[in-house]
Chain A
Amino acid sequence: MSVSDLSSLEAAALARRPAFGDSAHILCDNLVRIYKTEGVEVVALQGLDLLIDKGELVAIVGASGSGKSTLLNVLSGLDVPTAGLARVAGMDLLSMSAKDRLRYRRSIVGFIWQQTARNLLPYLSARENVLLPMRLARRPRSARQRADELLELLGVADCASRTPAEMSGGQQQRVAIAVALANEPGVILADEPTGELDSETSAEVFAALRAANRELGVTAVIVTHDPLVSEQVDRTVGIRDGRTSSETLRRTSEDGDVIAEEYAVLDRVGRLQLPRDFMSALEMERRVRLELERDHIGVWPVREDASDDE
C-alpha cells in the first residue's frame, strides 16, 4: 500500500468520524473536580464521561457521595471543574469568564434543588418567584405573561399569588420548575426534586418535569434516588466513585412491556467498570485476563497457580 493511499485513508476516516460528543447537548469528557481543604484533597469527580443529546430526559443515580451533586453543580455553572472537558450547549464550562458564566446561568440552564424551601424566596409569591430570574436577567418585556404561561403549563396557575408557605410541597416544586424555566433555558437540572415528597406528589412533580421536557423541548437531567423517577426515563446513568459506571436504557417492546437493559460504560480510552457483585462472585482482584473472541471479549479471573506457571 502506498503512502498516499494511507494518508487518504486516514483523511477519509477522520472526515467520516465526528469529534467525540460533537453533536451532544451536554458533554463531559474525563471531568475531574477536586475539593481542597486544609491539607486534605477530596476527588469528587475522577474522570467522568457523559454524553446527553438535546431534548433527552436523563436520570442520574448513584450512592451517597458518588459525585452526583458535584456533577450537577458543575453543569449548572455554580462550580468550576478542576480538569477535563465540560460543554453545555456549546459553551465550555472550564474556560468561561465570570460574565459568560453569569449569562450561562441566566439563559442556558435552570435548576431545581431538593429542598423546596431553597428553591423559592419565602416572602415572594409564586408569580414573583418566577419573575425573579427574568428581572435579574433584565427581561421585563412580556415577563408577566410568560410567568403565567409557565405556571399554567405546570398546573399551578391557581397558586400564582400565593407565597411558598401557602402551597403544598408538590406545588412548591412545580413552581420551582417554572422558576427554572423562566429564562427559556435549553437545559434544566434537578437535584432530587422529589426527595422530600410522598409518592403521589412525586409523580405530579415528575409529570411536570416530563411535560417541560416534551412541550418545551428542554434537555432535562435529574439526579434521583427515587425509583419512580429513574424507572420512567429513557436513560439512567449510574455514577460510582466519581465516574459514570453504567447506563440503563429503556424501550417499550411490541407488546407494550418496558424492557430495561443495563450496560457498562466504556470510555474513550477503553476503560470499563465491572459491577462490584460480578467481581466478587468470581473473586476478581488486581488483574484479569481478557480474550478477544469473534463477537465479544471474555474476562477471566487470574488464578494464582496459573500466573505462577507463566
Chain B
Amino acid sequence: MPITLLRVHKGAAAVLALLALSASLLLAALPRAFERSYDQALSDVLGGAVATTTDLTVGERPFDSPELLTEPAQFAARDDLWRRTLPPELRRIMASKSTDFGAETFLTPVADRFDKLGFGTQYLDLAWLPAAEQRVRYVKGKPPGPAGAITYKGQRIVRYDVAVASDAVTQMGLDVGATVVLGYSDPMAARVTGVYELTDPKDRYWDHHLNVPKVTVRAKDLDEEYLITGLTSADSLKYLNAHRNLNYFWVLGTDRSALTARDAQQVIDAIDVYRRAVTGRTTNFRPYTLDTGLNDLLKGYLQRLATAQTLMLLILGGLGLVAIGVAALAAQLLTERMRSGLTLMRARGGGLGQLVVTGTSVVALVTLPAVLVGYGLAALVPGPVTLAVHLGPALLAVAAIAYTAGRLALTHRRPLDERRDDVVARKPSPRRLVLEATVAGLALAGAYLLRTRGLQESDPFLMAVPAALTLAAALITVRCYPLPLRLFVWLTARRRPAVPFLGFTRAARGRSVAALPVLVLLPALAVSVFGSVVSAAVGDTQRVAAWQQVGASARVEREEAITPEMIQRIQRTPGVEAVVPVAKGNSDVGGHPTTVVAVDLGAYRKILAGTPLTVPDAPRTVPGGVGGLVSPSLGGAPTFEIDWPSKVRVVRTGTITGLNGLASPEYNLVVVPFDGPANTLLIKGGVRKDDLAAAVNAPDALIMTVDDSLRQIQDAPLTSTVLAAFTIVTIALGAYALIAVIIALVAGAADRAKALAYLRTLGLSQRQARGLTVLEVTPLIVLTAVAGLLLGLALPAALAPGIDLSAYAGSAVDGFPLTLGTPTLLAAGLTAVAVLGAFAHASAGRAVTGALRLGESA
C-alpha cells in the first residue's frame, strides 16, 4: 500500500524528497566546511609560529660529573625515554622523523684569542648537534675532530675543534685555523677547523638553534656583542661540564598537520600532564624542564574558536530548525494528500496502528533515501567528519517521520473526523500553553544567563539560547497573530466592501494551517537578519580597524629620514591626493619611555575627512616652548623636556591617548607640531601599494595601505568562513521560507478553493477572489516578517555581551549599529515574493464546479 500511495502522490512526495535532500546536504556539509576552516585557521596559527613554540623541548642543566652524559648513546636512550613517556594525545602529533637532541653551552665568552685580533665582545658557544651534520655543507676546512689539548699561559687546557657558519669568518674573524680561549675561569680553547653554510636555511630545525647559522649582534650600552654557536664533535662531550653554562636538550618535534581543532584541548591538557611527568623526574643534580609555547598558542586559538563555534551553532541551529520545519511542512502536505484515502481505510476497518504505519512508511520511503543521498553528497565536501555531520541529517529524518506519525495518529484517532475548524476555533489546550510558556521562559532565562555570564566554555544550554529564543518568538507569534487581525476584522466589518472583511476573517481563523509556516518563516528571517546585522557590524569594524592600523589611506614609514625628493616622487604618484609628513621617534619623559609624534594635526585632520578616523585639535602655540598633547599615563606635569626630535620644552595643552596607526593607546605618547625632518608619511588617496613602493624606492621602508590591511583582516580563515557561512545560510533560509509559504498555500488550496467556489456562486468575481486569497495570506506573512525582523535585529544586541567578535573584526566590535538597510530589504523582499506567490496561486483559474466537488469529497 505505501508504494501505491507514493506512486499516486508523487508530486508531494517529490517536494518532500527535494527538501529532505537539500536540508540533509546543507546540515551535513556545512559542519564539515566549518570544521575544515577551523583546522585551516589552526594550521595558519601553527604555521606562523616558530618551531620552538610548537615543538616540545625537554631541557636539563647538568650540575655534576656523575650525571654528565658523555656518550651519544646516552642521549639517544634519554630521547627514547622522553618519547615513550609521552601521553598518547601527544604521541599522536609527534613528527615521525625528527630526532634533535644534543648539548649546548650558552653565553660562553671569548676570553682571549691566539691571533690577538680585536673584535669587540664575543661569545662562542659550543654545541654538539648530531642532527645538524646533515644540514650543513662545509665550504672551507673540515668537520671538527676529537678534542685535544693546548698550552695557554703555561697551562695545558682542553682544546675543542669547532666549525662555524661562514658569517662568523667576516664578522668575528673566526676563520679556519683561528683558536680562541673560552671562559675566564677554568678556560678552554676552541680551534676552528671548518666553515659551513646551511643546505636549507628555511629548515625549521634552525628555529631551535638560532645562533648556529649566523652571528647575532646585540647592542649593549654603547658597544656591540657578537654571538655565534659552533658545532663540535661527540668526543667533546667528555669535557663539557658544569664549569660552562651547559644545557642538554631533547626536541620532540610536532607534526603540525596532525593537530586538529577538535583535539586542541586534549593536547593542552596532555602538555600539562607531560610537563608534570618531566619535571617530576627532577633530582638534586638534574633539574628537568619542558619548554613549549604550544599550549598558550592553542589556548588563544580555542578562545577565538569558541566564538566562531557559537556563531556557527547559531546559524546551523537556525538552519536546522527551519529545515526541520520545512520538511515537516512537506510531510504534512503529503499526509494531507493521503488524508481521504487513509480516512476511508480507517472507516473500512483500518486500525490506528495500521494507518499510522502505512502513512508513516510513505513519508519514510521518501525521506530516508533523500536524506541518505544528501548525506552522501555532503561527503564530497572536503572536511573532517564530526558528530554534527551525522546528527543533522539523522535529526531531520527522525523529525519528519515522527511528526508524520504523530500527526496521523492525532488526525485519525477517531474514525469519523468531523473537521469543523472553519466554524469553531479549537480551544487552546492547557498542556500546550504550559509547554509554550516553558519554552519562552527557558529562552529568556538562557538569554539573561548568556548576557551576564558570557560564553566562557562551551555550555550546550547557553549555545542553544538563540535557537530557543527564535522558537519562543515563533510560538508567541502563532499564539498572538490573530489578535491584531481581529482589530482589522472589526474595522472592515463596518465598511461596505466584503472582500477585506472576508479575507481578514479567514486569515484570523486559519490557525491550523498557519503554525508551521510561522515556525519556518520567522526563524528563517530572524537568522538571516541576525546574520546580516552581524556581518555588517563585523564589516564596519574591520574597515575601522584597517583604517586605524594604517592611520590614513596609506602610510610610509622609515627608520631613516624621508628625503624631500622622495616626498616629491610620492606626490607625483597617481592616486596620491595629499601627503602629511610626520616625525615619529622615542624619547624619555621623567624616566618613562615615550613615543613622540611630531605632526601638523590640522593637515592630518584634513586628509582624514570622510574616513572613520578622527584626530584631536592641534596643540596651542605657547610662549617658552612648544605646545603638546600628552597621554594621561605620563602624569600631570605641566611642562617637561624631550630630547627628540630636538631638545625642547613641551608645555602640556591637552591630552591624547593613542594616535591612529602612529601610536597605540597603551603607550606613553607626546604629540608636538611638526618640525622636520620626516620619517613617516601619511597619504590620502586611492594609491596602490606597488606604485608607492616604486616611488619610495627604499627597501627598508614600511608601506601600508588601508586596502591591504583590510584584505589581511578579511582573509583570516575563521573570518572568511563566518562571513561565507552567513551568506550561504541566509540564501538557504530565504529559499526555505519561500518554499514554506508556497507549501502552506498549496496545502490549503482545496479548502480555499471550496470556500472561494461557494463565494463565487454568490457572485464573487474572479478579481475579488484573487484579492481575497492575497488578503488571506498576506497578514500572516507580513506579521511574521515583522516579528522575524524585530527578533533578528534584537538578537545581536541581546547576545552581544556573550559573543566576542573582535577576533573577526580586527578590533573589538562595540555595539551593533541598527542598520535597517539590508535586514529590511531581506524582510521586504521575502514578503513581496511570498505575496506574489500567493497572487500567482490565486490567479491560476479553477473551475467552480470542480472545486465544489473536490470540497465535498475531501
Contacts and interface: CB of A to CB of B under 8 A. Distances in A.
Nearest to B343: A118
Given A102-B351, A115-B856, A123-B4, A132 B427 contact: no
Contacts of A288: none
A134 B352 CA distance: 16
Contacts of A76: 347
B345 A132 contact: yes
Contacts of B853: 117
Contact of A121 (B344, B352, B423): B344
Interface of B: 1, 4, 7-8, 340-341, 344-345, 347-352, 354, 415-416, 418, 420, 423-425, 427, 853, 856-857
Interface in A259-301: none
B355 to A, nearest CB: 9
A25 B348 CA distance: 21
Contacts of A105: 347-349, 415
A136 B351 CA distance: 8
Given A105-B347, A133-B349, A136-B345, A37 B8 contact: no
Contact of B416 (A78, A118, A121, A124): A78
Given A37-B420, A117-B857, A121-B341, A133 B348 contact: yes
A92 interface: no
B4 A118 contact: no
A38 B424 contact: yes
A37 to B, nearest CB: 5
A183 to B, nearest CB: 7
B13 to A, nearest CB: 13
A35 B416 CA distance: 13
A79 interface: yes
Contacts of B347: 76, 78, 105, 111
A63 B424 CA distance: 26
A136 B348 contact: yes
Contacts of A107: 349
Interface in A92-107: 98, 101-102, 105-107
Contacts of A117: 853, 857
Contacts of A232: none
A36 to B, nearest CB: 10
Nearest to A77: B415
Contact of A38 (B344, B354, B415, B427): B427
Contacts of A106: 349
The 10 closest A-B pairs by CB, nearest first: A106-B349, A78-B416, A123-B8, A136-B350, A133-B348, A117-B857, A38-B424, A105-B349, A37-B424, A78-B415
Contacts of B418: 35
A101 B1 CA distance: 23
A120 B1 CA distance: 14
Contacts of B425: 38
Contacts of A119: 344
Contacts of A120: 344
A120 B345 CA distance: 10
A78 B414 CA distance: 8
A136 B349 contact: yes
A115 B349 contact: no
Contacts of B4: 123-124
Contacts, number: 56
A179 B857 contact: no
B253 to A, nearest CB: 70
Nearest to A36: B424
A132 B349 CA distance: 9
Contacts of A123: 4, 7-8, 341
Given A77-B415, A124-B4, A179 B423 contact: no
Given A77-B415, A118-B344, A136-B348, 6 more contacts: A76-B347, A78-B416, A79-B416, A105-B348, A118-B857, A137-B349
Contacts of A118: 340, 344, 857
Interface of A: 35, 37-38, 73, 76-79, 98, 101-102, 105-107, 111, 115, 117-121, 123-124, 132-133, 135-137, 179, 183
Given A115-B856, A136-B348, A136-B354, A37 B416 contact: no
Contacts of B857: 115, 117-118
17 contacts: A35-B418, A37-B423, A37-B424, A38-B425, A98-B352, A102-B349, A105-B349, A115-B857, A118-B857, A119-B344, A121-B341, A121-B344, A123-B8, A123-B341, A136-B350, A137-B349, A183-B349
Residue of B8, B347, B354 with most chain A CB atoms under a 10 A cut-off: B347
A35 B424 CA distance: 13
A29 to B, nearest CB: 22
A133 B347 CA distance: 9
B349 A73 contact: no
A192 to B, nearest CB: 13
Nearest to A138: B354
B411 to A, nearest CB: 15
Contacts of B856: 115
Contacts of B420: 37
Contacts of A37: 420, 423-424
A184 to B, nearest CB: 12
Contact of A179 (B348, B351, B424): B348
A73 B416 contact: yes
B424 A132 contact: no
A301 B427 CA distance: 49
B420 to A, nearest CB: 6
Nearest to A108: B349
Nearest to B345: A136
Contacts of B7: 123
A207 B853 CA distance: 27
Residue of B1, B348, B425, B427 with most chain A CB atoms under a 10 A cut-off: B348
A98 B414 CA distance: 9
Nearest to B7: A123
Contacts of B344: 118-121
A118 B856 CA distance: 9
A286 B352 CA distance: 50
A38 B347 CA distance: 26
A132 B350 CA distance: 9
Contacts of A135: 1
B508 to A, nearest CB: 15
Contacts of B354: 136
A119 B415 CA distance: 14
Contacts of B348: 105, 132-133, 136, 179
Nearest to B340: A118
A135 B349 CA distance: 10
Contacts of A102: 349, 351
A73 B340 CA distance: 17
Nearest to A80: B414
Nearest to A114: B856
A146 B539 CA distance: 75
A79 B8 CA distance: 30
B359 to A, nearest CB: 14
A76 B340 CA distance: 18
A111 B344 CA distance: 11
A102 B355 CA distance: 12
